[in-house]
Amino acid sequence: MGPYLLGLRLSGRRVLVVGGGRVAQRRVPALLEAGAEVTVVSPSVTPALDDLIAAGRVTWHARPYEVGDCDGAWLVQACTDDRSVNTAVAAEAEAKRVWCVRADDKDASAAWTPATGRVDEISVAVTAGGDPRRAAGIRDAVVGALRDGTVDARRNRTKPVGVALVGGGPGDPGLITVRGRQLLAQADVVVADRLAPRALLDELAPDVELIDAAKVPYGRSLPQETVNELLVDRARQGKFVVRLKGGDSFVFGRGGEELIACAEAGIPVTIVPGLTSAVAVPAAAGVPVTHRGVSQEFHVISVHVAPDDPRSTVDWPALARSQGTLVLLMALERLPKVAEALIRDGRSPETPVMVVQDGTLPTQRAVTASLSTVADRVSAAGIRPPAIVIVGDVVRIGQEVEMVRAERLP
């Protein structure tokens, strides 16, 4: 017969764990998280358990199991690698009408420990006929569906309110944070940017209002003031609004302006940081923005105006003199002037540069050149926005990695 599943509230209740090996190491943290008062009986314990004991979170009797250890326990876990000991522990527990889980014999065990997971206030527990691997696999699938919103999260009675500023990551929909995807699945309204992971929008429920807030370079654009008004208006209607952007909302994403607008209107805001393209795209192209012995700093610059434009607030001479990596966003149209300014102010014309288009997406491609030739190379290759420009010796690290890989190919 199948088991009768029950959620035990163990807070303040004594739980006995006999054995101090790897099985006990897996089970004790979950018992502690449930608030149980855990006693471990074992001649020795793993380093991880020893750390919990030293912190005063677990009581340890450094000896073999003895009859009477089950006294006062609400639950017993027999986790030794000695079948005779586990049998004796289970027999004592059975005689005292205490539930006992045997790690070594599912058929002889009075209870099974399910594979468990938790997402917010939802707990998931799976048994699979005593097969722990199968149960864990099913558990992982259910928990993953809860986290990314595949399971209908909009039926939640405690759905978030106000506005969530969600950074969607560099482009690949798999790189949005778990929290971001979860909130997106609960949205009534989504205000999405052009660089937000568009594939995620196909997963929205049909009744979700989708507002296109794309800002196309030199093309159609929704003014920021209008975006702010939309966020406030929909939230005041009692709808949960997700502002979905590419990268991180607070890295050249104007998230601060939206945060202020909502605060002034009394709208609660949830902030979900995103993986900024300034770091993620170089990494996806095999280029670390820092590397020991090469660069111990990196600078992220928005090049929405050229270096010689009076509106520019960037100290280009200081950047040229620095030895750090430069990561340039929105720089493609002004790349000739950027290269000219950096060379004029002290950067070597031979400094390696990589330009990456559509970073993290299937259409990603890159061009590598020197600072003096990069503008012409990019033009000849037909590189188009969105693209990230990486300036510095770290580009050579990526080239070295590619060379090593090529040498190891059969």
Catalytic annotation, residues: 193, 215
Task: Please report, for residues 35, 100, 116, 134, the alpha-carbon distance to residue 26 in angstroms, rounded to integers and kept in the order given.
Answer: 16, 17, 12, 17
Spatial distance between the Cα atoms of 333 and 385, rounded to a whole number of angstroms: 9
Spatial distance between the Cα atoms of 4 and 162, rounded to a whole number of angstroms: 41
DSSP conformation class of 261: H
* Among the listed residues 180, 197, 181, the one whose alpha carbon sits nearest the alpha carbon of residue 362: 197
Q: Do residues 262 and 162 lie in contact, with contact meaning Cβ atoms separated by under 8 Å?
A: yes
Spatial distance between the Cα atoms of 1 and 266, rounded to a whole number of angstroms: 56
Q: Give the Cβ contact number of residue 83 at 10 Å.
A: 13
Give me the torsion for CA of 174, 179, 181, 185, rounded to 10°: 160
Q: Which H or E run includes 356? A: strand 352-357
Spatial distance between the Cα atoms of 70 and 60, rounded to a whole number of angstroms: 14
Q: Do residues 334 and 342 lie in contact, with contact meaning Cβ atoms separated by under 8 Å?
A: no
Sequence-distant (6+) residues with CB within 8 A of 299 are: 319, 322, 324, 325, 326, 327
Spatial distance between the Cα atoms of 159 and 153, rounded to a whole number of angstroms: 8
